[in-house]
Every structure is written in C-alpha cells, then in structure tokens.
C-alpha cells in the first residue's frame, strides 16, 4: 500500500479515532474560565475550611464548580435534549416492518413477522409496528413521537465503531475528537457546571465529549454515595472528598494528560456528590416504570427526578437496553431489548407529563446503522446502511421525517436500505429549533443539510 | 536501518516502578528497588523471558470457600485477578490482558465461563510468542467462534462478522487496505466451522468441510480456493499488517505516538517471523516509555497492583462487582473493540475505584502511633510500599493531616491511605 510508510502516525491516529477511542474524556484543559481573571488566586473550599492555591491557566476549584452548579440551577430553565443510543445497529425492518411488500417475505424467509401481529402505522400503510414497540405506537398516535424510518448518510460505513463515531461527532469525519453535543456545550456552556452535559452511564457517552467545559458521568443519581456498609468506613468522608477534589483541581491544571484526567475526575466527583446528596434510595416517581435488572428505566426515573429537583441539566446521553448487533437469532434479542426500551420511554414521558416537565424535554433515539434487508441464514442480519430513529416529546411535531423508501426501489447495490433523511440535518434542526443555536458552529458543513421541521 | 533507541539515562527505582506498572501490575514492596539494581536490559528481560510460573500466596476464595471459576458468576474475574496478583510472570499476565482487549471477546455473547477461560489460556500460552500462531488459535477458538458468529458462517449463508473484525480490529486497521468485497470474500473463506450454542464443551467445535465454501474467492486482489488459514495468512502478509500490529502494541505501553523511525525499527523486528517478544522488548527499553507522559492505570491493573502493594489476596466476589463499577469486568469487554483506554476515569469510574480502594483496606486498620502529620503520611505511604509522589500530592495530604489532626491518628491515617490511592499520582503510572 502506497501510504503504508508515508504517514503511519496519521494512520494510527485515525485508527484510534475510528475505533471510537479517540474522544477525550473530561480533559483536556477544562474548565477554563475565560476572562474571569481567576488564575493564581487562592480559594477556600467550603467544607474543609482550608485554603487551596490554584495555579496555572486559571482553572476553578472544586468548590467553585459546586457554586457554578448552584448558579446554573437558579438561572433560567433551559430546554433538555436527551440522546438515547441503541447500540449495535438495530434492524429498522423489524421495528417498522413492510408486511405487505412481497419482497419482505422473500428477503426474510425466517425472520419476517406476520401481518397479524403488528400494529398499524398511520403515515405509511405499508409498515406495521413490531409488537414490542406498542408503546411507541401509542405515543405516535398521540402526536408525541416522530419517526425517522430511514435515517443515515451517503456512503454509509458498515463498521460499528466508525459509523457510531460519525453519529457521535456529528460528521462523517474520523479525525473529529469532540462530540456534537460536546461542541455545542463548548460554545454555549458554563465553565463551572458539569451537570450541563450528563452521561447516565458507567462512563462518558462520546457525543458529550467536550474540549473546554466540564461534563459529568453518573451511573444513577441515587447511587452517588461514597460509603458502603460492606467496606471500610471513613468518618472523615466529606473532608476526604473535599481534599481529593482540591488535589484533583491542582493536577487538572497541570501538563500531563493522564494526571489531568485523574485530577478532573476527582474534582468533578466531589462537585457532583455535593449536588446529588439529596437523592435517597428512590425517586418516588409519579408513574410506574418497568421492573428490570437493566438500569435503563431506573436511570430515566432518576433523570425525571433530577429535572424535577431543578438540577441544571441541559444535554443528557445514555444507552438503551438490549443487544442489537443481531447477526444470529435476531428475533428474541431484538424483541426483548425493544420492549424494555419502548416501555421505559413511555413511562418517562408519562412521568414528565405528571410532573409538568414534558414541554422542556426532547428525546432523540438513534442507532449507528440499520441492517441488511436480506437475512443471513443464522436467523440474523448483517450490518446495513440506513436505520430507524425517533424523536419523542410533547413539543415534537409527530409524523415522519423522511419516508420509507420501500424494498423494491429503496435498497442500494449491497441490498441495504437507502437513507431518506440525513442525521446531520436532524442534528442541525435540533440545534436550531430546540436549543436555539446556530448549527453552523457545531455541525461541519451544516448549510448543505436540509432541516426537517421538528416542533409543532 | 538505524537501531531502535534505548533509554540510557539512570535506571533507578522510579523508572523500575514505571516499568513494573506498564509491563505488569506494579511492584510489591521492595521490588522496584531490586529490579532497578539489575539495570534496564536485565530488568526488561526478566519480564519478557520469565522463569517457570509460580503463584505465591494463598489461593483465592469467596465467602471462605475455594472459588469455582467455570461455574460461579464472577469467579472467572476472581480467578484471573488472583493470577495478576500472585504470578511471578507479570508481563505474561499483562500481555494476556492486552490480547483479551485486542481479540476482545465477551461472555455476553458466549455464555460459557469454561470456554472463556479456555480462550484465556490460549492467549496466555501465546502471550509473547508468534502472532501468526496466536491469530490461528484465536480464529478457531470456540469462544471466538460463538462471539463473532464463526459457527454461523457457512457456505449456505455466509456471515461477515468475523471476517470484518479480523481485518478491521485484529490485523489491518479500519479502512487500511481492504474493501467491502474483501469482507464478503473473507466471510466465504472462513466458512466451515461448526459448534453448539448452548453448553461449554470445546470438543463440539469442529471444522466440517461440508459447510466450507470450496469455490474461488478474491481477497486483496488475489484469487484462490481460500480457507480459514488462508484468510489469516493473507491478512498477515498484507502490507498494512506489520505497521498496524506494532503501532497498536506500542499504544498499550506508551501513550505518545512513536516516531517514523521507531515504527520502521519495530516493523523490521516484527517482520522477521511475526514474533511478539522482540517487539515488546524493544518497546520496554525505549526512551519514550521512561521520558514520556504518564498513563492512567486500567482498573484491573490498579486493583491487582493495590493488592500486590498491600500483600492482600482475592477473597470476595466484591472484587468482581466493584471492578465492574470501576469500568472493567474481565471477560466482559464492552464490545469487540475492547476497552476504551482513553477515558478510564470520569465521575462514575472514580467512585468505582474509591470502593475498590476501600475494599483493599477492609480488615486492615492502621496500627496507630504518632499523630504528627508528617509521620502519619509516612506510615500511610509505607503501607502502600512507598510509591513516588508529586509535590502537589504530598503537600495536599499533609494539609489534610494537619486540618484533621483532632480526629485522631488512626482515623487520619486510614483516610490518608485512601486519599493516597485515589490521588492522581497513584491512578496513573
């Protein structure tokens, strides 16, 4: 290969980014209080009562991060965008299946769902809802769910990691290291409020990776204590967290990337703990969420509770339950994951409605691609192109964005569904119509993508 | 070609400490000093060409009983963590972890701890040997055949799962010299394996010529009636492979990118027979490892190192549960690309590590003594084998000891040990 030796470092860097590994965590160099003149000043951490000098680049102490969250919480309420990822590439042709298309039974001799088990889809009589998606059909009927039956991009990549990376960074660019929501937060967010970009996960969702402002990651809001009855207890726990956070702030302002990452984590953990101590073992949701060993319904219940408590959340990202990379034995895996996802989303919407928060929240559900139209003989399907997505909330327009292209004319030369909506156009519309921000500053080449009308 | 650069500045305890963390699971008390005395080359060779395996210390337990790694949930994690703690061949275990991340197989898709542990033993046997042998072993490994649908890939209905990842993740790198057609043709070449989804008998996984597509395939522009061994061979002979392999291997030990000259040198070492050991030996002696920036310790490395420093053993299922909370449950990598080394630490996994540290200290309260802040910090440091600290960290911890003096020596010393372990210094190496 010609470029084998010419630019290996570049190739390696690309490989790293393309494997979805290239996005920075909560470093580097954040938070940066531009223009605040805070460098080389001393701060007093509020609980430990000792002065801590903060040097270099003017980064904030843990105590000020906490103040930042408090300040943001008393400011005007912002709209909330929740990004939910169906990992593995969910089979669009099962979620909304073209039961009446003669090609469907031909392409899916074993996996085709019978017309009798589906629920009608008003916008397109060719399609039926998967029985496990019944709650989505309900929401769609109420006009609170917009369907994107074939969303994707030109020249689709069939690697999980590359395609997911594209969706996460909001561009078909393997070099981009920040997430699309992360860049939006970098442009508009606060230097001292990590809750503005919250991953409800055991780790950062890459769509939220920022370069400048802090974001946080949280398993669940009721699970952020630092003591456990089975383990050594620390009578000085609060002072310890303050000290760890303060020390973290010093390292977070240093030059070594690994020390900075470790320092930022400690600093933000302390700030987050301060804000979440109000949540006990239950959120007392006004509705019933599905019971599951998967954390998803619990996390959504916690999200509603955090919003009700007035915490300053703005962009939230989490993964849906289920395994959608269904190369084999697709029917049960897809049905189980889809059912829990749909049941939980319906409960979340009802929770927000009961709490009077539904007008503030919009949920975007996406997957890295759809699957091959023709099943593969392992009772599964291989990686495809365009996939299915949803927008959920009391303010969405309902209906469809793009249309179902059909199996006869809608497949590409590899037998994959062609996209009828571009995910970057959806992102641009979310930024402009929901978050009120110029998409050109976040999505590269935003001008070339058509914006669907998303809100009623 | 110019020889690869070798670190030539003084090789003291601090350098030996870094080497032991990068190429293993950190030093036991006194180990860094002893290794430093050997000099760099001998130190590296003691890791890459180790003695026969020996496990020192008490065998792992859960609730006082011996563990059942094939059968009890979580005991697979305990079994391997224990080896990381007790083995006298830390690099072999560390390389096994590298290959577990490289050929990342999750028991979520396998459903058999026995098959996962069999694969683990295959990775351990091949840890520093020939990558060619390793790739051939992994390609026919039952857990892998289940995980990436190899047993579903037949001439009647090819399944692209393994063929794609074989090139994208295992040998070439994404978009690095192959096409979608190559993916489909690789899938055809790889047909022929058969196995059983339920049950964990390795003997059920066999090559069955009736399932193999004997037709001609065209891969990377070459045509032939290729089979699974050809699939592997064609990838190994692909011009993109040596660079991908040594570059990726390098990234497990050094956080900065290698220079062009270093990459060429490593490729030359590797090109001579696909041998892993000489490449690792060169990386471990490279100046970039000792002069460059730090790396965040992977959670399981952090955990095993903590137990080694404290002289603790694996004695409860909590090590597996809390390990998951810290972001690394062995045998359950998040996906086929393995764990994401660029973001081990965030607000969620910080808390997971906090609990792991608390568990390490459970049942080991400080002995007590002088409540002088400096002495308290010395004792806390000594309890962890005397790790090197940055000035910022010792200053902050000393401040903590002074401010909280009134809480009593034992309480403060216990807090200092936890704070030390959670300091950015000890989270990184």
Number of Cβ within 10 Å of residue A184's Cβ equals 28
Tell me which DSSP letter residue A287 carries. Answer: S
The three-point CA angle A264-A250-A204 to 5° equals 5
User: For A47-51, A113-117, A198-202, A436-440, which range has the lowest pLDDT when averaged over its residues?
Assistant: A47-51
User: Which pLDDT belongs to residue A436?
Assistant: 97
Exposure pattern of A306-336 as b/e (b: 16+ CB <10 Å)? bbbeebbbbbbbbbbbbbbbbbbebeebbbe
Neighbouring residues of B363: CB distance < 8 A, sequence distance ≥ 6:
none
Per the CB < 8 A criterion, the answer to whether A172 and A385 are in contact is: no
pLDDT tens digits, residue range B257-268? 999 999 999 999
CB contact under 8 A, A247 and B392: yes
- Alpha carbon of A358: minimum distance to chain B alpha carbons (Å): 28
CB contact under 8 A, B359 and A232: yes
* pLDDT > 90? residue B185: yes
- Alpha carbon of B390: minimum distance to chain A alpha carbons (Å): 10
| Arithmetic mean of pLDDT over chain A | 84
- Which percentage of chain A shows pLDDT scores above 70? 85
The three-point CA angle B160-B166-B169 to 5° equals 115
Chain B residues inside the 8 Å CB shell of A383: 160, 164
Chain A residues inside the 8 Å CB shell of B342: 16, 21-25
List the single residue in A with minimal CA-CA distance to B406. A236
CB contact under 8 A, B325 and A202: yes
Q: Which of B242, B345, B392, B410 to mutate to test the interface with A (most CBs of A within 10 A)?
A: B345
Interface of B with A in 58-97 (CB under 8 A): none
User: Which pLDDT belongs to residue A107?
Assistant: 97
Exposure pattern of A430-448 as b/e (b: 16+ CB <10 Å)? bbbbbbeeebeebbeebee
Tell whether B296 is within 8 A of chain A (Cβ). Answer: yes
Encoding tokens for residue A257? 């990337």
Q: Considering CB atoms only, which of B159, B327, B396 is closest to A382?
A: B159
Tell whether A356 is within 8 A of chain B (Cβ). Answer: no
Per the CB < 8 A criterion, the answer to whether A363 and A316 are in contact is: no
Band (pLDDT 50/70/90 cuts) for residue A65 is low
For residue B119, CA distances in Å to B14, B24, B103, B126, B191 come to 35, 20, 10, 11, 20
Number of Cβ within 10 Å of residue B368's Cβ equals 11
Encoding tokens for residue B97? 């972890």
User: Which pLDDT belongs to residue A203?
Assistant: 79
Per the CB < 8 A criterion, the answer to whether B86 and B322 are in contact is: no
Q: Which of A251, A321, A383 to mutate to test the interface with B (most CBs of B within 10 A)?
A: A251
- Alpha carbon of A444: minimum distance to chain B alpha carbons (Å): 22
For residue A440, CA distances in Å to A209, A382, A430 come to 18, 35, 12
Number of Cβ within 10 Å of residue B244's Cβ equals 26
Q: Considering CB atoms only, which of A228, A259, A263 is closest to B355?
A: A228
Q: Considering CB atoms only, which of A15, A202, A327 is closest to B327?
A: A202
Q: End-to-end CA distance of chain A, in Å?
A: 53
Find residue A261's DSSP bridge partners. Answer: none
Per the CB < 8 A criterion, the answer to whether B423 and B397 are in contact is: yes
Q: Is the peptide bond before A351 cis (omega within 30 degrees of 0)?
A: no
* pLDDT > 70? residue A427: yes
Q: Which stretches within A160-256 are classed as H helix?
A: 160-169, 180-188, 237-252
Chain B residues inside the 8 Å CB shell of A246: 396
Chain A residues inside the 8 Å CB shell of B329: none
Neighbouring residues of A388: CB distance < 8 A, sequence distance ≥ 6:
A90, A92, A95, A96, A147, A148, A149, A150, A151, A367, A370
Tell whether B179 is within 8 A of chain A (Cβ). Answer: no
User: Which pLDDT belongs to residue A176?
Assistant: 85
* pLDDT > 60? residue B365: yes
Number of Cβ within 10 Å of residue A19's Cβ equals 25
Compute the distance between CA of residue A398 and CA of residue A138 in angstroms, rounded to an integer: 12
Mean pLDDT on A171-175: 86
* pLDDT > 60? residue B92: yes
Tell whether B294 is within 8 A of chain A (Cβ). Answer: yes
pLDDT tens digits, residue range A348-390? 999 999 999 999 999 999 999 999 999 998 999 999 999 999 9
Compute the distance between CA of residue A256 and CA of residue A260 in angstroms, rounded to an integer: 6
CA-based radius of gyration for chain B: 23
Band (pLDDT 50/70/90 cuts) for residue B103 is very high
Mean pLDDT on A114-118: 95
Q: pTM for this structure? A: 0.79
User: Which pLDDT belongs to residue A6?
Assistant: 27
List the single residue in B with minimal CA-CA distance to A55. B392
Compute the distance between CA of residue B146 and CA of residue B325 in angstroms, rounded to an integer: 26
Per the CB < 8 A criterion, the answer to whether B308 and B25 are in contact is: yes
* pLDDT > 70? residue A13: no
Phi and psi based region of residue B74 (left: phi greater than 0; alpha: psi -120 to 50; beta: remaining):
left
* pLDDT > 60? residue A136: yes
* pLDDT > 50? residue B255: yes
Compute the distance between CA of residue A369 and CA of residue A29 in angstroms, rounded to an integer: 33
Q: Which of B291, B348, B411, B419 to mutate to test the interface with A (most CBs of A within 10 A)?
A: B348
For residue A322, CA distances in Å to A336, A339, B208 come to 7, 9, 33
CA-based radius of gyration for chain A: 23
CB contact under 8 A, B400 and A323: no
Tell whether A440 is within 8 A of chain B (Cβ). Answer: no
Compute the distance between CA of residue A75 and CA of residue A70 in angstroms, rounded to an integer: 9
Tell whether A18 is within 8 A of chain B (Cβ). Answer: yes
CB contact under 8 A, B412 and A236: yes
Q: Considering CB atoms only, which of B318, B365, B412 is closest to A230?
A: B318
Mean pLDDT on B92-118: 96
Nearest by Cα to A234 from B406, B354, B176, B163: B354
* pLDDT > 70? residue A316: yes
Compute the distance between CA of residue A111 and CA of residue A117 in angstroms, rounded to an integer: 13
* pLDDT > 50? residue A49: no
Per the CB < 8 A criterion, the answer to whether B163 and B212 are in contact is: no
Tell whether B106 is within 8 A of chain A (Cβ). Answer: no
Compute the distance between CA of residue A421 and CA of residue A443 in angstroms, rounded to an integer: 16
User: Which pLDDT belongs to residue A278?
Assistant: 72
Encoding tokens for residue B63? 């609730």
pLDDT tens digits, residue range A76-85? 889 999 999 9
Mean pLDDT on A331-345: 98
User: Which pLDDT belongs to residue A40?
Assistant: 19
Compute the distance between CA of residue A113 and CA of residue A126 in angstroms, rounded to an integer: 13
Neighbouring residues of B163: CB distance < 8 A, sequence distance ≥ 6:
B153, B183, B184, B186, B187, B189, B190, B231
CB contact under 8 A, B325 and A231: no
| Choice between B17 and A213, residue whose per-residue pLDDT is larger | B17
Compute the distance between CA of residue A137 and CA of residue B388 in angstroms, rounded to an integer: 60
Mean pLDDT on A380-404: 97
Find residue A145's DSSP bridge partners. Answer: A392
- Alpha carbon of B395: minimum distance to chain A alpha carbons (Å): 9
pLDDT tens digits, residue range B383-407? 999 999 999 999 999 999 999 999 9
pLDDT tens digits, residue range B138-161? 999 999 999 999 998 999 989 999
CB contact under 8 A, B174 and A24: no
User: Which pLDDT belongs to residue A63?
Assistant: 56
Q: End-to-end CA distance of chain B, in Å?
A: 32
Interface of A with B in 314-353 (CB under 8 A): 323, 327-329
Chain B residues inside the 8 Å CB shell of A22: 342
CB contact under 8 A, B174 and A162: yes
Nearest by Cα to B313 from B50, B71, B19, B67: B67
User: Which pLDDT belongs to residue A15?
Assistant: 33
Exposure on the CB side of residue A372, measured as CA atoms within 13 A = 26
Compute the distance between CA of residue B296 and CA of residue A256 in angstroms, rounded to an integer: 11
Interface of A with B in 84-113 (CB under 8 A): 87
Interface confidence, given as ipTM, is 0.95
How many residues belong to chain A?
456
Q: What share of chain B is helix, strand, coil (3-state, %, to 5)?
A: 55, 5, 40
User: Which pLDDT belongs to residue B54?
Assistant: 96
List the single residue in A with minimal CA-CA distance to B159. A376
Domain ranges of chain B: 13-291, 365-429
| Choice between A173 and B206, residue whose per-residue pLDDT is larger | B206
Per the CB < 8 A criterion, the answer to whether B22 and B285 are in contact is: no
User: Which pLDDT belongs to residue A437?
Assistant: 97
Which domains occur in chain A, in start order?
77-224+279-448 (3.40.720.10)
Chain A residues inside the 8 Å CB shell of B293: 256-258
């Amino acid at each position: 290969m010609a470029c084998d030796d010419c630019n290996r470092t570049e190739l390696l860097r690309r490989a790293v980014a393309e494997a979805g590994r290239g996005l920075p965590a909560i470093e580097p160099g954040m938070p940066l209080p531009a223009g605040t003149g805070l460098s080389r000043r001393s701060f007093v951490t509020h609980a430990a009562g000792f002065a801590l000098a903060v040097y270099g680049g003017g980064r904030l102490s843990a105590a000020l991060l906490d103040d930042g969250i408090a300040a943001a919480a008393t400011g005007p309420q912002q709209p909330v965008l929740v990004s939910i990822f169906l990992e593995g590439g969910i089979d669009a042709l099962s979620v909304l299946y073209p039961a009446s298309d003669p090609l469907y039974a031909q392409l899916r001799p074993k996996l085709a769902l019978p017309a009798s088990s589906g629920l009608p889809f008003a916008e397109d009589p060719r399609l039926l809802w998967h029985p496990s998606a019944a709650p989505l059909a309900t929401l769609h009927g109420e006009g609170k769910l917009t369907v994107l039956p074939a969303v994707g991009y030109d020249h689709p990549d069939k690697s999980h990691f590359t395609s997911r990376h594209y969706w996460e960074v909001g561009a078909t660019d393997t070099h981009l290291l920040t997430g699309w929501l992360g860049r939006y937060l970098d442009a508009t967010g606060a230097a001292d409020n990590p809750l503005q970009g919250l991953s409800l996960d055991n780790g950062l969702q890459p769509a939220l990776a920022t370069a400048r402002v802090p974001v946080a990651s949280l398993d669940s809001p009721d699970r952020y204590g630092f003591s456990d009855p089975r383990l050594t207890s620390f009578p000085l726990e609060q002072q310890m967290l303050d000290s760890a956070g303060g020390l973290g702030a010093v390292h977070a302002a240093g030059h070594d990337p690994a020390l900075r990452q470790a320092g930022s984590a400690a600093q933000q953990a302390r700030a987050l703990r301060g804000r979440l101590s109000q949540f006990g073992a239950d959120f007392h949701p006004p509705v019933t969420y599905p019971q599951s060993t998967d954390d998803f319904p619990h996390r959504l219940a916690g999200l509603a509770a955090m919003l009700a408590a007035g915490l300053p959340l703005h962009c939230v990202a989490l993964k849906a339950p289920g395994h959608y990379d269904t190369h084999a034995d697709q029917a049960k895996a897809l049905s189980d994951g889809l059912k829990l996802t749909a049941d939980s989303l319906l409960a979340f919407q009802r929770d927000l409605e009961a709490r009077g928060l539904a007008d503030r929240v919009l949920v975007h559900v996406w997957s890295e691609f759809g699957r091959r139209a023709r099943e593969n003989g392992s009772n599964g399907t291989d990686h495809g192109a365009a996939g299915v997505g949803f927008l959920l909330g009391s303010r969405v327009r309902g209906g469809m964005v793009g249309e179902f292209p059909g199996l006869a004319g809608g497949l590409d030369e590899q037998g994959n569904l062609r996209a009828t909506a571009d995910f970057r156009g959806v992102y641009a519309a979310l930024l402009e119509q929901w978050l009120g921000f110029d998409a050109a500053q976040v999505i590269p080449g935003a001008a070339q993508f058509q914006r669907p009308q998303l809100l009623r | 070609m110019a020889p690869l650069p070798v670190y030539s500045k003084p090789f003291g305890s601090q350098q030996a400490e870094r080497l032991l963390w990068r190429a293993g699971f950190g030093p036991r008390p006194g180990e860094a000093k002893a290794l430093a005395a050997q000099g760099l080359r001998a130190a590296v060779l003691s890791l890459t060409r180790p003695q026969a395996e020996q496990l020192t210390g008490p065998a792992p337990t859960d609730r006082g009983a011996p563990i059942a790694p094939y059968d009890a949930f979580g005991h697979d994690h305990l079994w391997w963590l224990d080896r990381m703690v007790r083995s006298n061949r830390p690099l072999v275990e560390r390389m096994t972890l590298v290959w577990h991340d490289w050929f990342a197989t999750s028991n979520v898709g396998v459903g058999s701890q026995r098959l996962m542990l069999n694969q683990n033993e295959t990775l351990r046997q091949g840890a520093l040997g020939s990558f060619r042998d390793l790739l051939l072993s992994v390609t026919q490994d039952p857990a892998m055949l289940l995980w990436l649908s190899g047993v579903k890939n037949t001439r009647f209905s090819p399944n692209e799962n393994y063929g794609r990842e074989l090139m994208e993740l295992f040998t070439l790198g994404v978009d690095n010299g192959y096409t979608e057609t190559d993916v489909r043709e690789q899938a055809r070449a790889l047909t022929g394996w058969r196995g059983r989804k339920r049950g964990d008998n390795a003997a059920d996984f066999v090559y069955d010529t009736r399932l193999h597509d004997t037709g001609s395939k065209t891969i990377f522009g070459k045509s032939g009636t290729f089979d699974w061994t050809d699939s592997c061979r064609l990838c190994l002979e692909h011009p993109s492979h040596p660079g991908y392999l040594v570059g990726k291997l390098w990234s497990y030990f050094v956080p900065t990118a290698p220079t062009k000259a270093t990459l060429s040198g490593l490729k030359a070492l590797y090109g001579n027979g696909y041998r892993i050991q000489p490449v690792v030996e060169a990386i471990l002696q490279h100046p970039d490892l000792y002069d460059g920036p730090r790396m965040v310790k992977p959670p399981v490395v952090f955990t095993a190192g903590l137990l080694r420093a404290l002289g603790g053993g694996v004695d409860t299922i909590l090590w597996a549960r809390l390990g998951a909370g810290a972001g690394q449950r062995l045998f359950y990598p998040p996906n086929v690309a393995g764990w994401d080394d660029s973001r081990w630490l965030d607000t969620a996994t910080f808390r997971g590590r906090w609990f792991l540290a608390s568990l390490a200290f459970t049942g080991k309260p400080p002995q007590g003594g002088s409540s002088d802040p400096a002495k308290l910090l010395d004792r806390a440091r000594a309890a962890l084998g005397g790790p090197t600290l940055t000035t910022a960290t010792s200053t902050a911890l000393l401040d903590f000891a002074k401010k909280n003096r009134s809480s009593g020596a034992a309480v403060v010393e216990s807090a200092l040990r936890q704070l030390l372990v959670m300091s950015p210094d000890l989270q990184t190496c």
